[in-house]
A and B are shown apart, each in its own frame.
Chain A
Amino acid sequence: MKTETSWLGVLLFLCITAGAWAQEATNTPAATQPSAGAWYLRQKLQYIHYGSDPGPEDRDINRFIASTSLTYGITRNLSITGDLPVALSFEDQQTSGDEETLFGTEDAAISLKWRPFQWDTSPVDSVRLAFFGGVELPTGTGDLGSHSFDPFAGAVMTAIRGRHGLNQSLQFKLNTGGDDFNSRPGDGPSNAVRSDTAYLFRLSPETYTADVTAATYLTLELNGLYETAGNVEFLFGPGILYEARSFALEASIGVPVYQDVDDRPETNIVITLGFRILF
C-alpha cells in the first residue's frame, strides 16, 4: 500500500541543506554519551497505532511500549547501552472480529557506541561522529519478539552550531529471524536499513549565560526505514525537548509522510513521551 504527501521532497531538502547541526532528539541517535564512569537512564513511553494490515487477520493495533535504556560511559569515547522494551498491545482482528491483548517484553538489545571523532570549535559548537553496533536478543514474548539474534551496526554524526543542531544516523540490521506480517517495523524476516535525521532548534535561552541551567528545544525528525523485502516508510514529526542540568523531558509525534508497505501493517502515528537522567 502506498501513502505519499508532497511534504517529503521539501523535508528531505531541508534536512540535506541545513547549514548547522545537535543534541539528541527522541527517535534519532546522536554522537553523544555520558562521561567516563557516569550513567544515563532513559525512559520512553510510546503509543503506536498500526492499521491497513495485509495479513489474514487484518489487525488494527494500538500498542503502548515502555522502553528503558541504560547507558554507561566506559571511557570518554566509548559507552555501552542496554535497552529493554515492554509492550502492551491491543489487537483487533477485523477478519474474525476477535480481540487480542498481548503483554510482555519485546526484544532487548545491547550495544556499544564508539566516538572516534570530535571537533569542539567553541564553547557550544561541536561536530562529532560515532559508530555503534550491537545485537537484539530473542527476549520477546510471543508475537512481540523475533526470537532471533539480530546484529546491527551504524554511524551517526552530530553537529551543533549556536542554537541549531543536526543529527544524521544510518544503520543496518541483519535480521536472522522474524515472522511475516509482524507488526514491528524493521523486525521482519528481511534486513533493515534506517536513516534517521533530527534537526534541533534551541527555543530558549537565545544565548547561554552564567545563569542558565536549562534549555528548551524544538525538534523535527525524519525517520526512514527501508526493509530489503521492499517496504519503505518515512515518519516525520515535531517534538519538544526540555533539558536541565541532570535530567531531560521530551515529547514528540510522528506521522507517515511516505509509506510503501506490502507485507506488514502500516504505521499510522507514533506519540512519544520520555525522560532522561544523568547520574
Chain B
Amino acid sequence: MRLFNLPCAVRLMVLSLPLVLASGCAQRTPVVNSPADTVPIASSSATLIVHGMSCPLCASNVDKQLLSIRGITSADVDMGTGAVTIKLAPGSTVTRAQLADAVDKSGFTLTEVRVP
C-alpha cells in the first residue's frame, strides 16, 4: 500500500517555494518609516496595535522585546484587541522606530503606533 507518491510530493514542495517566498516578502509593510519616527516620543505612554498574537505564550515575546528597551517601564498586552500599552520613564529617549524594531524581532506584525 502506497499512501504517498514521494517524488510528486517533493516536486510540489520545490515548485511552491518561489510563490511562498514572494508572498512572504510582501507581508511586512513598515508602519514606521519616516525621519520623525526616530525622534524620542514625548509622552509617558504609547499604544501599539499588534496582529498575530494568537496565544499567551506567543504574546509574551512582545513583552520581552519591548521591556528590553531602556526607558520602557511596563508593557501590558490585550490579546483581544492587539493593543500593547507601554509606559515610558520620564525623560526616556524611546522612539517609534525602536518600538517597531522590537515588535519585528518578536515575530508579529505592527499595524499602528498611537501616542496620546
**Once bound together, how far apart are the Cα atoms of A230 and B4, in whole Å?**
11
Instruction: Kindly supply a per-residue 1/0 record for chain A positions 35-50, scoring 1 wherever the CB is within 8 Å of any chain B CB and 0 otherwise.
Output: 1111000000000000
A91 interface hit (Cβ, 8 Å): no
Is the CB–CB distance between B80 and A22 below 8 Å?
A: no
Q: Which of A62-70, A176-184, A239-247 contacts B (4 or more CB under 8 A)?
A: A239-247
Contacts of B55 in A (CB 8 A): 22-23, 215, 243
Contact indicator A77/B107 (Cβ below 8 Å)? yes
User: How far does the alpha carbon of A257 sit from the alpha carbon of B64 in the complex, in Å?
Assistant: 42
Interface residues of B in 1-57 (CB under 8 A from A): 1, 3-4, 6, 9-10, 13, 20-21, 23-25, 27, 49-57
Q: Is the CB of A123 within 8 A of B51?
A: yes
- Inter-subunit contact B10/A36 (CB<8 Å): no
Q: How far is the CA of A106 from the CA of B106 in the complex (A)?
A: 33
A160 x B54 contact (CB < 8 A): yes
Interface contact A124-B54, CB-CB below 8 Å: yes
Query: What count of chain A residues pass the 8 Å CB interface test?
Result: 55
User: Which residue of B is nearest A117, CB measured?
Assistant: B24
A230–B20 touching, CB < 8 Å: no
Q: Which residue of A lies closest to B85 (CB)?
A: A210
CB-CB < 8 A to B104: which residues of A?
A: 76
Chain A residues 149-191 with CB under 8 Å of chain B are 155, 160, 165, 170, 172
Question: Nearest-CB distance from A4 to chain B (Å)?
Answer: 11
Binary flags per residue of A178-218, CB closer than 8 Å to B gives 1, else 0: 00000000000000010100000000000111101111000
The answer, yes or no, to whether A248 is at the interface (CB within 8 Å) is yes
Q: Write the nearest CB–CB distance from B115 to chain A, whole angstroms.
A: 19
> Could you say which residues of chain B place their CB within 8 Å of the CB of A207?
80
Interface size on B, residues (CB 8 A): 44
Q: Assess whether B73 is interfacial by the CB under 8 Å rule.
A: no
- CB distance A116 to B109 under 8 Å? no
Q: With CB as the reference atom, state the residue of chain B lying closest to A33.
A: B107
Known: A77-B107, A118-B27. A213 touches B56 (CB 8 A): yes
Evaluate whether A123 and B105 lie within 8 angstroms (CB atoms) in the complex, with A117-B27, A230-B1, A243-B57 already known: no
Are A121 and B51 within 8 A (Cβ)?
yes
Q: Does B98 contact A (CB under 8 A)?
A: no
Q: Are A32 and B81 touching (Cβ within 8 A)? A: no
* Complex: chain A residue closest to B55, CB-CB: A23
Q: Is A140's beta carbon under 8 Å from chain B?
A: no
Task: Tell me whether A260 and B80 are in contact (CB under 8 A).
Answer: no
Which of A73, A116, A212 is within 8 Å of B56, CB to CB? A212
Q: Which residue of B lies closest to A161 (CB)?
A: B54
- For residue B58, CB closer than 8 A to chain A, the reply is yes
Contacts of B100 in A (CB 8 A): none
User: Which residues of A95-122 are within 8 A (CB) of B?
Assistant: 115-122
A244–B57 alpha-carbon span in the complex (Å): 6
| Residue of A whose beta carbon sits closest to that of B62 | A35
Closest to A231 in B: B1
B residues in contact with A236, CB < 8 Å: none
Residues of chain B within 8 A (CB-CB) of A224 are 3
Does any Cβ of B come within 8 Å of A253's Cβ? no
10 new A-B contacts, CB < 8 A, other than A73-B107, A210-B83, A212-B79, are A22-B55, A36-B105, A38-B61, A76-B105, A76-B106, A117-B23, A118-B109, A126-B52, A260-B1, A278-B60
Q: List 12 A-B contacts (CB under 8 A).
A: A35-B62, A35-B107, A115-B24, A115-B107, A120-B52, A120-B109, A122-B51, A122-B82, A165-B54, A193-B6, A214-B56, A228-B6
Q: Which B positions have Cβ atoms within 8 angstroms of A? A: 1, 3-4, 6, 9-10, 13, 20-21, 23-25, 27, 49-65, 68, 76, 78-83, 104-109
